[in-house]
Amino acid sequence: MDISGFMVRFASEEACEDHLIKLRWKEGFRCPKCDSDQFTLVRANHFKKCSISSSTFSM
């Protein structure tokens, strides 16, 4: 078992998921948790906050 290989694979999967979320949000935000398209921007922290589930997402 190569622990360093595992760490690299984990990091790349995280990056891939992040990339997919950004691509999706180009066409409009959808909350991954409740599928709502209603949100408020929290500009000071560059966050979006879902109006339904109150989940927050970094931009």
The reply on whether position 33 binds Zn ion by CB under 5 A is yes
Task: Tell me the number of residues near Zn ion by CB under 5 A.
Answer: 8
Of positions 36, 42, 47, 49, contacts Zn ion by CB under 5 A: 36
Q: Which of 8, 15, 20, 34 binds Zn ion (CB under 5 A)?
A: 34
Instruction: Count, in order, helices (H) and strands (E) of the chain.
Output: 1, 3
Q: Which tokens go with 7?
A: 């760490």
Task: Return the range that interacts with Zn ion (CB under 5 A); candidates 3-11, 20-28, 47-55.
Answer: 47-55
Say if residues 21 and 32 touch (Cβ distance below 8 Å).
yes
